[in-house]
Amino acid sequence: MPFSGSLAVDLVDPKILHGSQISMCELEHMKKYPNAKVISLGIGNTTEPIPDIVASSMADYARALSTPEGYSGYGDEQGNKALRKAIAETLYRGLPIKDTEVFVSDGAQCDISRLQILLGSDVSIAVQDPSFPAYIDSSVIIGQAGDFQEAVEKYQNIEYMECGPQNNFFPDLSSTPRTDIIFFCSPNNPTGQAASRQQLENLVKFASENGSIIVYDSAYAAFITDGSPRSIYEIPGARKVAIEVSSFSKVAGFTGVRLGWTIVPEELLFSNGIPVINDFNRIVCTCFNGASSVAQVGGLASLSSQGFKAVLSVVDYYKENAKILVDTFTSLGLKAYGGVNAPYVWVHFPGSSSWDVFSDILEKTHIITVPGSGFGPGGEEYIRVTALGHRDSMLEASTRLRTLFP
Protein backbone atom coordinates (compact mmCIF):
# COMPACT_ATOMS: atom_id res chain seq x y z
CA MET A 1 0.00 0.00 0.00
CA PRO A 2 1.41 3.47 -0.83
CA PHE A 3 2.24 5.74 2.08
CA SER A 4 -0.34 8.27 3.17
CA GLY A 5 0.52 11.84 2.17
CA SER A 6 0.74 14.45 4.85
CA LEU A 7 -2.27 16.24 3.34
CA ALA A 8 -4.62 13.24 3.31
CA VAL A 9 -6.25 14.86 6.30
CA ASP A 10 -7.11 17.91 4.20
CA LEU A 11 -9.96 16.09 2.54
CA VAL A 12 -11.90 17.23 5.56
CA ASP A 13 -10.28 20.64 5.78
CA PRO A 14 -13.11 22.99 6.75
CA LYS A 15 -11.99 25.79 4.43
CA ILE A 16 -11.81 23.52 1.39
CA LEU A 17 -15.20 22.12 2.32
CA HIS A 18 -16.55 25.65 2.51
CA GLY A 19 -15.69 26.45 -1.13
CA SER A 20 -17.04 23.19 -2.47
CA GLN A 21 -20.15 23.52 -0.31
CA ILE A 22 -20.94 26.84 -2.01
CA SER A 23 -20.52 25.21 -5.45
CA MET A 24 -22.70 22.29 -4.37
CA CYS A 25 -25.41 24.65 -3.15
CA GLU A 26 -25.29 26.47 -6.48
CA LEU A 27 -25.62 23.20 -8.41
CA GLU A 28 -28.52 22.04 -6.24
CA HIS A 29 -30.18 25.39 -6.66
CA MET A 30 -29.86 25.23 -10.45
CA LYS A 31 -31.37 21.75 -10.43
CA LYS A 32 -34.27 23.02 -8.38
CA TYR A 33 -34.74 26.20 -10.47
CA PRO A 34 -33.43 25.32 -13.95
CA ASN A 35 -34.76 28.55 -15.45
CA ALA A 36 -33.41 30.86 -12.78
CA LYS A 37 -30.79 33.39 -13.80
CA VAL A 38 -28.29 32.96 -11.01
CA ILE A 39 -26.15 36.02 -10.24
CA SER A 40 -22.82 35.38 -8.58
CA LEU A 41 -21.64 37.91 -6.03
CA GLY A 42 -19.52 35.12 -4.60
CA ILE A 43 -15.97 34.45 -5.70
CA GLY A 44 -13.87 37.62 -6.19
CA ASN A 45 -13.12 37.17 -9.87
CA THR A 46 -12.62 40.01 -12.33
CA THR A 47 -15.03 40.30 -15.26
CA GLU A 48 -14.10 43.40 -17.25
CA PRO A 49 -11.80 43.29 -20.29
CA ILE A 50 -8.12 44.14 -19.94
CA PRO A 51 -7.53 47.54 -21.60
CA ASP A 52 -6.35 47.22 -25.19
CA ILE A 53 -3.02 48.96 -24.57
CA VAL A 54 -2.12 46.19 -22.11
CA ALA A 55 -3.60 43.25 -24.03
CA SER A 56 -1.97 44.39 -27.32
CA SER A 57 1.44 44.55 -25.70
CA MET A 58 1.10 40.90 -24.68
CA ALA A 59 -0.28 39.88 -28.08
CA ASP A 60 2.56 41.62 -29.94
CA TYR A 61 5.17 40.08 -27.68
CA ALA A 62 3.64 36.60 -27.96
CA ARG A 63 3.48 36.86 -31.76
CA ALA A 64 7.12 37.93 -31.93
CA LEU A 65 8.08 34.76 -30.06
CA SER A 66 7.55 32.98 -33.39
CA THR A 67 10.41 34.97 -34.95
CA PRO A 68 14.16 34.54 -34.46
CA GLU A 69 14.51 38.20 -33.40
CA GLY A 70 11.56 38.15 -31.00
CA TYR A 71 12.18 34.82 -29.34
CA SER A 72 13.36 34.63 -25.74
CA GLY A 73 13.53 31.78 -23.24
CA TYR A 74 14.04 31.82 -19.50
CA GLY A 75 14.38 35.24 -17.95
CA ASP A 76 15.72 36.30 -14.58
CA GLU A 77 14.03 34.28 -11.83
CA GLN A 78 13.39 37.49 -9.88
CA GLY A 79 11.64 39.09 -12.84
CA ASN A 80 12.25 41.31 -15.80
CA LYS A 81 14.50 44.21 -14.72
CA ALA A 82 12.36 46.84 -16.42
CA LEU A 83 9.26 45.55 -14.66
CA ARG A 84 10.95 45.44 -11.25
CA LYS A 85 12.03 49.02 -11.78
CA ALA A 86 8.57 50.09 -12.93
CA ILE A 87 6.95 48.49 -9.87
CA ALA A 88 9.40 50.23 -7.53
CA GLU A 89 9.08 53.59 -9.27
CA THR A 90 5.36 53.62 -10.04
CA LEU A 91 3.67 51.75 -7.23
CA TYR A 92 6.17 52.72 -4.51
CA ARG A 93 6.92 56.23 -5.75
CA GLY A 94 8.49 58.31 -3.00
CA LEU A 95 9.26 55.24 -0.91
CA PRO A 96 12.76 53.82 -0.53
CA ILE A 97 12.04 50.56 -2.39
CA LYS A 98 14.87 49.36 -4.62
CA ASP A 99 14.14 47.42 -7.80
CA THR A 100 16.38 44.64 -6.50
CA GLU A 101 14.01 44.20 -3.54
CA VAL A 102 11.09 43.50 -5.92
CA PHE A 103 10.51 39.83 -6.81
CA VAL A 104 8.04 39.39 -9.65
CA SER A 105 5.74 36.40 -9.21
CA ASP A 106 2.86 34.55 -10.81
CA GLY A 107 0.48 35.98 -8.22
CA ALA A 108 0.21 36.87 -4.56
CA GLN A 109 -1.39 33.57 -3.60
CA CYS A 110 1.58 31.61 -4.98
CA ASP A 111 3.99 33.85 -3.09
CA ILE A 112 2.07 33.38 0.16
CA SER A 113 2.81 29.66 -0.16
CA ARG A 114 6.44 30.30 -1.08
CA LEU A 115 6.75 32.50 1.98
CA GLN A 116 5.44 29.60 4.08
CA ILE A 117 8.28 27.48 2.69
CA LEU A 118 10.70 30.27 3.57
CA LEU A 119 9.39 30.55 7.12
CA GLY A 120 8.96 26.84 7.78
CA SER A 121 6.51 25.00 10.00
CA ASP A 122 8.22 25.76 13.28
CA VAL A 123 6.89 29.30 13.67
CA SER A 124 3.96 30.89 15.42
CA ILE A 125 1.48 32.72 13.21
CA ALA A 126 -1.24 35.32 13.70
CA VAL A 127 -3.97 36.22 11.21
CA GLN A 128 -6.80 38.72 11.14
CA ASP A 129 -10.15 37.12 11.89
CA PRO A 130 -11.83 37.20 9.40
CA SER A 131 -9.16 36.83 6.75
CA PHE A 132 -8.39 35.59 3.24
CA PRO A 133 -8.23 31.78 3.69
CA ALA A 134 -4.87 31.27 1.93
CA TYR A 135 -2.84 32.35 4.98
CA ILE A 136 -4.33 29.63 7.16
CA ASP A 137 -4.61 27.01 4.41
CA SER A 138 -0.95 27.39 3.45
CA SER A 139 -0.05 27.11 7.15
CA VAL A 140 -2.01 23.86 7.26
CA ILE A 141 -0.21 22.57 4.18
CA ILE A 142 3.23 23.38 5.58
CA GLY A 143 2.32 21.57 8.80
CA GLN A 144 2.34 24.62 11.06
CA ALA A 145 -1.34 24.99 11.95
CA GLY A 146 -1.88 22.02 14.26
CA ASP A 147 -5.26 20.41 14.83
CA PHE A 148 -8.54 22.01 13.90
CA GLN A 149 -10.54 22.59 17.04
CA GLU A 150 -14.18 22.10 16.09
CA ALA A 151 -15.56 23.72 19.22
CA VAL A 152 -14.00 27.10 18.46
CA GLU A 153 -13.50 26.59 14.71
CA LYS A 154 -9.84 27.53 14.97
CA TYR A 155 -6.53 25.85 14.29
CA GLN A 156 -4.58 25.17 17.42
CA ASN A 157 -1.32 26.92 16.51
CA ILE A 158 -2.81 29.98 14.90
CA GLU A 159 -3.58 33.18 16.73
CA TYR A 160 -6.84 34.66 15.42
CA MET A 161 -6.83 38.45 15.80
CA GLU A 162 -10.43 39.56 15.94
CA CYS A 163 -11.09 42.44 13.53
CA GLY A 164 -14.68 43.64 13.48
CA PRO A 165 -16.66 46.84 13.82
CA GLN A 166 -16.25 46.64 17.62
CA ASN A 167 -12.53 47.42 17.26
CA ASN A 168 -12.52 49.41 14.02
CA PHE A 169 -11.43 46.26 12.18
CA PHE A 170 -8.04 46.39 13.84
CA PRO A 171 -6.81 43.91 16.45
CA ASP A 172 -6.46 44.84 20.08
CA LEU A 173 -2.67 44.52 20.13
CA SER A 174 -2.50 44.97 23.91
CA SER A 175 -4.09 41.53 24.28
CA THR A 176 -2.51 39.87 21.22
CA PRO A 177 0.19 37.36 22.10
CA ARG A 178 3.54 37.62 20.35
CA THR A 179 3.94 35.48 17.25
CA ASP A 180 6.84 35.07 14.82
CA ILE A 181 4.70 35.97 11.82
CA ILE A 182 1.72 38.29 11.47
CA PHE A 183 -0.27 38.00 8.25
CA PHE A 184 -1.99 41.33 7.71
CA CYS A 185 -4.10 42.28 4.73
CA SER A 186 -5.15 45.84 3.95
CA PRO A 187 -7.62 46.55 2.46
CA ASN A 188 -8.77 43.32 4.00
CA ASN A 189 -10.55 40.59 2.15
CA PRO A 190 -13.36 39.95 3.19
CA THR A 191 -14.21 43.05 5.24
CA GLY A 192 -13.11 45.60 2.64
CA GLN A 193 -11.55 47.70 5.40
CA ALA A 194 -8.25 49.54 4.89
CA ALA A 195 -6.12 50.07 7.99
CA SER A 196 -5.40 53.70 8.85
CA ARG A 197 -1.90 55.15 9.12
CA GLN A 198 -2.16 55.20 12.90
CA GLN A 199 -3.26 51.56 13.00
CA LEU A 200 -0.37 50.51 10.77
CA GLU A 201 2.08 52.51 12.89
CA ASN A 202 0.83 50.54 15.89
CA LEU A 203 1.25 47.29 13.98
CA VAL A 204 4.82 48.09 12.92
CA LYS A 205 5.69 49.14 16.48
CA PHE A 206 4.17 45.91 17.83
CA ALA A 207 6.17 43.80 15.36
CA SER A 208 9.40 45.70 16.08
CA GLU A 209 9.03 45.29 19.83
CA ASN A 210 8.27 41.58 19.47
CA GLY A 211 10.77 40.65 16.77
CA SER A 212 7.90 39.54 14.51
CA ILE A 213 7.76 39.62 10.72
CA ILE A 214 4.65 41.12 9.14
CA VAL A 215 3.56 39.54 5.86
CA TYR A 216 1.53 42.42 4.47
CA ASP A 217 -0.90 41.67 1.65
CA SER A 218 -1.74 44.75 -0.42
CA ALA A 219 -3.56 42.96 -3.27
CA TYR A 220 -6.35 45.59 -3.17
CA ALA A 221 -4.19 48.70 -2.62
CA ALA A 222 -5.31 50.25 -5.93
CA PHE A 223 -8.86 50.49 -4.59
CA ILE A 224 -7.89 52.76 -1.69
CA THR A 225 -9.65 56.11 -1.97
CA ASP A 226 -9.61 57.57 1.53
CA GLY A 227 -5.89 58.32 1.93
CA SER A 228 -5.11 55.17 3.93
CA PRO A 229 -1.60 53.84 3.21
CA ARG A 230 -1.32 51.74 0.06
CA SER A 231 1.85 50.06 1.26
CA ILE A 232 3.23 49.07 4.65
CA TYR A 233 6.45 50.85 3.63
CA GLU A 234 4.68 54.17 4.07
CA ILE A 235 5.14 53.49 7.78
CA PRO A 236 8.54 54.39 9.28
CA GLY A 237 10.38 51.31 10.50
CA ALA A 238 8.46 48.91 8.25
CA ARG A 239 11.53 48.02 6.19
CA LYS A 240 12.95 46.24 9.21
CA VAL A 241 9.84 44.17 9.96
CA ALA A 242 7.72 43.68 6.87
CA ILE A 243 7.48 41.72 3.64
CA GLU A 244 4.80 42.92 1.22
CA VAL A 245 2.98 40.62 -1.22
CA SER A 246 0.85 42.11 -3.94
CA SER A 247 -0.78 41.43 -7.26
CA PHE A 248 -1.77 42.64 -10.71
CA SER A 249 -4.92 40.48 -10.47
CA LYS A 250 -7.37 43.06 -9.27
CA VAL A 251 -5.67 46.27 -10.40
CA ALA A 252 -5.11 45.15 -14.01
CA GLY A 253 -7.60 42.30 -14.46
CA PHE A 254 -4.76 39.75 -14.42
CA THR A 255 -6.62 37.07 -12.41
CA GLY A 256 -6.18 34.74 -15.39
CA VAL A 257 -2.95 36.19 -16.82
CA ARG A 258 -1.23 35.69 -13.42
CA LEU A 259 1.27 38.26 -12.20
CA GLY A 260 2.21 39.63 -8.81
CA TRP A 261 5.20 40.65 -6.77
CA THR A 262 6.76 40.48 -3.34
CA ILE A 263 8.99 43.07 -1.72
CA VAL A 264 11.66 41.91 0.70
CA PRO A 265 13.67 44.86 2.07
CA GLU A 266 17.39 44.40 2.59
CA GLU A 267 17.11 45.54 6.22
CA LEU A 268 14.79 42.68 7.18
CA LEU A 269 16.92 40.15 9.07
CA PHE A 270 16.32 36.83 10.78
CA SER A 271 17.32 36.73 14.46
CA ASN A 272 20.71 35.24 13.46
CA GLY A 273 21.40 38.32 11.34
CA ILE A 274 20.90 36.62 7.95
CA PRO A 275 19.01 38.86 5.50
CA VAL A 276 15.59 37.40 4.68
CA ILE A 277 16.03 38.60 1.09
CA ASN A 278 18.88 36.08 0.58
CA ASP A 279 16.68 33.18 1.59
CA PHE A 280 13.70 34.43 -0.38
CA ASN A 281 15.90 34.73 -3.45
CA ARG A 282 16.89 31.11 -2.96
CA ILE A 283 13.25 30.02 -2.66
CA VAL A 284 12.34 31.96 -5.82
CA CYS A 285 15.21 30.40 -7.78
CA THR A 286 14.42 26.90 -6.50
CA CYS A 287 10.63 26.70 -6.14
CA PHE A 288 9.76 29.08 -8.96
CA ASN A 289 11.60 29.97 -12.12
CA GLY A 290 10.32 33.40 -12.96
CA ALA A 291 6.92 34.67 -14.09
CA SER A 292 5.67 34.22 -17.64
CA SER A 293 7.48 36.61 -19.97
CA VAL A 294 4.19 37.41 -21.73
CA ALA A 295 2.50 38.32 -18.45
CA GLN A 296 5.46 40.49 -17.46
CA VAL A 297 5.22 42.48 -20.69
CA GLY A 298 1.56 43.06 -19.87
CA GLY A 299 2.47 44.13 -16.34
CA LEU A 300 4.96 46.63 -17.71
CA ALA A 301 2.38 48.04 -20.13
CA SER A 302 -0.13 48.41 -17.31
CA LEU A 303 2.38 50.58 -15.43
CA SER A 304 3.07 52.92 -18.37
CA SER A 305 1.36 56.26 -17.88
CA GLN A 306 -1.38 55.49 -20.43
CA GLY A 307 -1.70 51.88 -19.32
CA PHE A 308 -2.01 52.81 -15.68
CA LYS A 309 -4.78 55.32 -16.42
CA ALA A 310 -6.60 52.65 -18.42
CA VAL A 311 -6.42 49.95 -15.76
CA LEU A 312 -7.43 52.39 -13.01
CA SER A 313 -10.55 53.27 -14.98
CA VAL A 314 -11.57 49.60 -14.65
CA VAL A 315 -10.89 49.80 -10.91
CA ASP A 316 -13.21 52.84 -10.81
CA TYR A 317 -15.90 50.84 -12.58
CA TYR A 318 -15.74 48.15 -9.86
CA LYS A 319 -15.79 50.85 -7.20
CA GLU A 320 -19.05 52.18 -8.64
CA ASN A 321 -20.41 48.63 -8.48
CA ALA A 322 -19.40 48.51 -4.83
CA LYS A 323 -21.31 51.71 -4.17
CA ILE A 324 -24.44 50.18 -5.72
CA LEU A 325 -24.12 47.21 -3.39
CA VAL A 326 -23.42 49.29 -0.28
CA ASP A 327 -26.41 51.54 -1.06
CA THR A 328 -28.62 48.52 -1.62
CA PHE A 329 -27.85 46.83 1.68
CA THR A 330 -27.90 50.13 3.57
CA SER A 331 -31.31 50.96 2.16
CA LEU A 332 -32.52 47.64 3.55
CA GLY A 333 -31.54 48.79 7.03
CA LEU A 334 -28.47 46.55 7.17
CA LYS A 335 -24.99 47.56 8.18
CA ALA A 336 -22.71 47.21 5.14
CA TYR A 337 -18.97 47.67 5.64
CA GLY A 338 -16.24 48.02 3.04
CA GLY A 339 -16.89 48.86 -0.60
CA VAL A 340 -15.00 52.19 -0.40
CA ASN A 341 -11.38 51.01 -0.39
CA ALA A 342 -12.01 47.51 -1.75
CA PRO A 343 -14.28 45.65 -4.13
CA TYR A 344 -15.91 43.74 -1.26
CA VAL A 345 -18.93 44.57 0.86
CA TRP A 346 -19.27 42.91 4.24
CA VAL A 347 -22.86 42.80 5.40
CA HIS A 348 -23.94 42.16 8.96
CA PHE A 349 -27.00 40.10 9.83
CA PRO A 350 -26.97 40.25 13.64
CA GLY A 351 -27.97 37.01 15.33
CA SER A 352 -28.11 34.97 12.09
CA SER A 353 -25.84 32.18 10.96
CA SER A 354 -23.93 33.21 7.83
CA TRP A 355 -24.90 29.96 6.10
CA ASP A 356 -28.59 30.59 6.85
CA VAL A 357 -28.31 34.07 5.34
CA PHE A 358 -26.50 32.65 2.31
CA SER A 359 -29.25 30.02 1.80
CA ASP A 360 -32.07 32.48 2.35
CA ILE A 361 -30.69 34.97 -0.18
CA LEU A 362 -30.02 32.21 -2.72
CA GLU A 363 -33.49 30.74 -2.33
CA LYS A 364 -35.31 34.04 -2.59
CA THR A 365 -33.18 35.97 -5.10
CA HIS A 366 -31.02 33.41 -6.94
CA ILE A 367 -27.92 35.35 -5.83
CA ILE A 368 -24.75 33.61 -4.70
CA THR A 369 -22.87 35.29 -1.85
CA VAL A 370 -20.14 33.97 0.46
CA PRO A 371 -21.03 33.01 4.03
CA GLY A 372 -18.68 34.95 6.30
CA SER A 373 -17.80 31.93 8.43
CA GLY A 374 -15.55 30.70 5.61
CA PHE A 375 -13.14 33.51 6.49
CA GLY A 376 -12.85 32.48 10.12
CA PRO A 377 -15.08 32.39 13.17
CA GLY A 378 -15.15 36.20 13.20
CA GLY A 379 -17.12 36.03 9.94
CA GLU A 380 -20.19 34.45 11.51
CA GLU A 381 -23.33 36.64 11.12
CA TYR A 382 -21.84 38.18 7.95
CA ILE A 383 -21.89 37.59 4.22
CA ARG A 384 -19.37 38.92 1.71
CA VAL A 385 -20.49 40.18 -1.67
CA THR A 386 -18.14 41.10 -4.47
CA ALA A 387 -18.32 44.17 -6.67
CA LEU A 388 -16.10 42.48 -9.26
CA GLY A 389 -18.81 41.89 -11.84
CA HIS A 390 -20.73 43.38 -14.74
CA ARG A 391 -22.76 46.49 -14.01
CA ASP A 392 -26.01 44.92 -15.24
CA SER A 393 -25.54 42.03 -12.76
CA MET A 394 -25.06 44.55 -9.94
CA LEU A 395 -28.18 46.47 -10.91
CA GLU A 396 -30.22 43.31 -11.28
CA ALA A 397 -28.90 42.00 -7.94
CA SER A 398 -29.81 45.31 -6.34
CA THR A 399 -33.37 45.10 -7.64
CA ARG A 400 -33.79 41.53 -6.45
CA LEU A 401 -32.32 42.24 -3.02
CA ARG A 402 -34.57 45.22 -2.51
CA THR A 403 -37.57 42.94 -3.03
CA LEU A 404 -36.16 40.43 -0.54
CA PHE A 405 -36.52 42.79 2.39
CA PRO A 406 -39.34 45.13 1.29
The SS3 call for residue 45 is coil
345 binds ligand PLP (CB under 6 A): no
Task: Candidates 137, 159, 217, 244: give the one binding ligand PLP (CB under 6 A).
Answer: 217
**In this complex, which beta carbon is closest to ligand PLP, that of residue 261 or of residue 355?**
261
From the CB of 285, what's the least distance to ligand PLP, in Å? 20
CA distance 399 to 61: 44
Shortest spacing between CB 363 and ligand PLP, in angstroms: 27
44 interacts with ligand PLP by CB under 6 A: yes
The angle subtended at Cα 188 by Cα 96 and Cα 339, nearest 5°, is: 110
Q: Report the site for ligand PLP in 251-280 (rule: CB under 6 A).
A: 255, 260
Distance CA 406, CA 53 (A): 45
DSSP 126-176: EEEES--THHHHHHHHHT-S--EETTTTEETTEEEEE-SGGGTTS--GGGP
User: Does residue 129 interact with ligand PLP by CB under 6 A?
Assistant: no
Cα separations (Å) of 183 from 160, 191, 203, 395? 10, 15, 11, 35
Provide, rounded to whole angstroms, the least separation between the CB of residue 328 and ligand PLP.
22
Shortest Å distance, C-beta 381 to ligand PLP: 21
If one asks whether residue 247 binds ligand PLP (CB under 6 A), the answer comes out as yes
Judged by CB under 6 A, the stretch of 70-78, 101-109, 156-164, 313-321 that binds ligand PLP is 101-109
* Binding residue (CB under 6 A) for ligand PLP from 88, 108, 200, 284: 108
CA distance 226 to 222: 11
Find the distance separating the first CA and the last CA of the chain, reported in whole Å: 60
Say how many residues touch ligand PLP, by CB under 6 A.
13
227 neighbors 198 (Cβ within 8 angstroms):
no
CB atoms within 10 A of CB 356: 12
- Name the closest residue to ligand PLP (Cβ): 107
Helix (H, G, I), strand (E, B) or coil at 194: coil
Site for ligand PLP in 130-189 (CB under 6 A): 132, 185, 189
Smallest separation, CB 13 to ligand PLP (Å): 18
Question: Of 28-36, 231-239, 247-255, 314-322, which segment contacts ligand PLP by CB under 6 A?
Answer: 247-255
Angle between helices 52-64 and 305-331 (to 10 degrees): 130
Nearer CB in complex with ligand PLP: 302/365: 302
Shortest distance (Å) from residue 17 CB to ligand PLP: 19
Q: Contact 207/193 with Cβ under 8 angstroms?
A: no
Contact footprint for ligand PLP (CB under 6 A): 44, 107-109, 132, 185, 189, 217, 219, 247, 249, 255, 260
